[in-house]
Amino acid sequence: MHVDMNYDRGSLAINVAPDWRATVLRKPAMPVLADPSGAVAEALDAPLDAPGLREAAAASKSACVLICDITRPVPNGDILPVVLRTLLASGMPAEAITVLVATGLHRPNEGEELLELVGDRWVLDAVRVANHFARRDEDHVEVGTTRRGNVIKLDRRFVEADLRLAIGLVEPHFMAGYSGGRKIIAPGVAHADTITTFHSARYMEDPNAANCVLQDNPLHEDQLEVVRMVGGAYAINTVIDDERRMSFVNYGEIIASHLQAVAFTRAYTELPVPERYPTVVTSSAGYPLDKTYYQTVKGMVGPLDIMAPNGNLIVVSACSEGMGSPDYVAAQRRLIALGPDRFLASLLEKRHADVDEWQAEKQLAPMRAGTVSLYTTGLDDEERALTGVRMIESVEAAITRSVVEHGDPRVVFVPEGPYVVPQYAP
């Protein structure tokens, strides 16, 4: 027997020894939409708490359509052409339409990568497609301050558009509860100052800033305030299955649309598990999420609720683009130099996080919970030293070592990594 873990653009087969008591956690079978583009068109004509897109476009002179960056496997090729043709058919001129890549503080998506992202060359030929740059002061406008004191500055191309539409993928998110919807606006097209406040330790250390939690989640609550500050927006939210096929899509007012998509996906992604395991094997969901070690941290956090105290967490992630940004590398250097406790103490003193250090902060949770091991083919020796975790050359050998160490043959596999959130339910 073997278990296929999501890895890079394919899978990594893990051979299961006969003396292990292996459990594999997967989503229940999800429905698959036979005609994704047709389903999008139907959704646009069946809006949730909003006018249909054609009607909204006819009453608008300009539109800004937000899409996620390359780290999210959104089926844009099935969505964007339908959306843009609807806008154009309403009489809106092509030059009045901007598709804006909501990069947050990630790098821009350009060239062939941008084509891969939008999914259809016609999109690039038909309208203006641009990246958001969080550090360009002149691109942003201040829209208000949240009750927690976060000054909200957003990309003016979005704020000043008559019609504001976000296209999102709804899946568990280890800080904001669930991705999609309001998250595409902030941090998606927010200024660096706003993003680094969102990701400061006073937000990150809140126990409700966690996977699948929306109630009292400080990020989610601020994001809802942001939606109101800009005067509202529309959204298309979609859910995909483990083969990246569209399972659900809707359109409507951005908050209502998001909550409906969350309600749909909860039944598949939140898995009750009656026991905790000393050995947990997970992934970073494969391409595109496992392109960097930065994103790999999401895979580490996902299954912590079902790991026994002082357990072994084994993560497989290709890291084909290395560690991540220079800012993240600098944060990892500080984590290694200071150690977990002093590193966290240094973060708690700040109002604004340094860029990308929040991911190093999130790595503290799995480090506190047990021993983290990483299998990867994408990091050199210097980068491996900066991960702060144990490096392994064989997943099977690491599992065997853990089974012997704990004297317990129970091993749980989570092939999809952060796209499945197991929850301890005795």
Packing angle between helix 76-89 and helix 36-44, nearest 10 degrees? 40
Q: Domain 2-26+274-424 classified CATH 3.40.50.2300?
A: no
Backbone φ and ψ of 267, nearest 5°: -65, -20
pLDDT value of residue 235: 99
Q: Mean pLDDT across the stretch 23-37?
A: 97
If pLDDT is split at 50, 70 and 90, which confidence band does 292 have?
very high
If pLDDT is split at 50, 70 and 90, which confidence band does 225 have?
very high
Span 57-91, pLDDT tens digits: 999 999 999 999 998 999 999 999 999 999 999 99
Q: Mean pLDDT across the stretch 218-240?
A: 98
Q: In what order do the strands lie in the sheet with 63-68?
A: 128-131, 97-102, 63-68, 163-169, 234-240, 246-253
On the question of pLDDT at 349 being above 90, the answer is: no
Lowest model confidence (mean pLDDT) among 78-92, 161-175, 348-362: 348-362
Span 308-346, pLDDT tens digits: 999 999 999 999 999 999 999 999 999 999 999 999 999
156-162 CB contacts, 8 Å cutoff, 24+ apart: 157/64, 157/98, 157/100, 157/130, 157/189, 158/64, 158/66, 158/100, 158/185, 158/189, 158/230, 159/230, 160/62, 161/60, 161/62, 161/63, 161/64, 161/98, 162/59, 162/60, 162/61, 162/62, 162/63
Span 375-403, pLDDT tens digits: 999 999 999 999 999 999 999 999 999 99
Q: Mean pLDDT across the stretch 27-45?
A: 97
* Multiple choice CATH, 36-268, 3.30.70.890, 1.10.3720.10, 2.30.30.90, 3.40.50.11440: 3.40.50.11440
8 A C-beta contact, residue 341 and residue 318: no
Q: What is the mean pLDDT of the chain?
A: 97
Copy the structure tokens of residue 354. 């340094």
C-alpha 253/C-alpha 396 separation (Å) is 48
- Sequence ranges of the domains in the chain: 2-26+274-424, 36-268
C-alpha 232/C-alpha 224 separation (Å) is 10
pLDDT value of residue 268: 97
C-alpha 83/C-alpha 91 separation (Å) is 13
Span 399-416, pLDDT tens digits: 999 999 999 999 999 999
Cα dihedral 301→302→303→305 (10° resolution): 80
